[in-house]
């Protein structure tokens, strides 16, 4: 099973796809000098830094398909020009989807190799019956 960590949200002046894949998570670590789980903990515990919020949103937009230039413009207009708490929850949701998967995202099944799995365990092996 795999998830692509993308999530589509109404934010700023439209509906946008956000995604923090491995590459964006590495850039986030560098920008915030902390791992994704530490940043998520800071966002959830109130110990966040303004760059935690801005970087999660900017990199999430880039991972979702927006050009880096357009993502930077959006973040400057709708994050950096606004009070931080207005975007705290959106940053939490984006980063949570990256590390745990989006809650409404269907799980993708791996393709079958053409053979069914057959159990080698006897149905009565651990039975309490004699």
The answer to whether position 124 is within a domain reads no
Distance CA 46, CA 19 (A): 23
**Would residue 62 count as lying in a domain?**
yes
Q: Which pLDDT belongs to residue 115?
A: 52
| Contact predicate 44/89, CB 8 Å | no
pLDDT of residue 5: 86
Does some domain include residue 86? yes
Rounded distance, CA 106 to CA 118, Å?
Answer: 26
**Segment 23-54, tens digit of pLDDT:** 999 999 999 999 999 999 999 999 999 999 99
Say what the pTM is. 0.77
Q: Could you read off the pLDDT of 73-110 as tens digits, one per residue?
A: 999 999 999 999 999 999 999 999 999 876 655 556 66
Domain encompassing residue 21: 6-100
Alpha-carbon distance of 6 to 18, in angstroms, equals: 6
């Amino acid at each position: 099973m795999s998830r692509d960590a993308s999530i589509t949200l109404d934010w700023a002046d439209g509906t946008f796809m956000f995604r923090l894949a491995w590459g964006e998570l590495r850039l986030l670590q560098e920008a915030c000098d902390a791992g994704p789980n530490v940043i998520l903990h800071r966002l959830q515990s109130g110990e966040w830094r303004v760059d935690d919020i801005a970087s999660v949103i900017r990199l999430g937009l880039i991972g979702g398909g927006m050009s880096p230039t357009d993502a930077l413009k959006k973040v400057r207009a709708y994050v950096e020009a606004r009070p931080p708490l207005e975007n705290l929850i959106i940053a939490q949701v984006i980063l949570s989807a990256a590390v745990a998967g989006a809650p409404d995202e269907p799980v993708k099944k791996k393709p079958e190799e053409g053979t069914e799995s057959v159990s080698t365990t006897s149905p009565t092996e651990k039975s309490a019956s004699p």
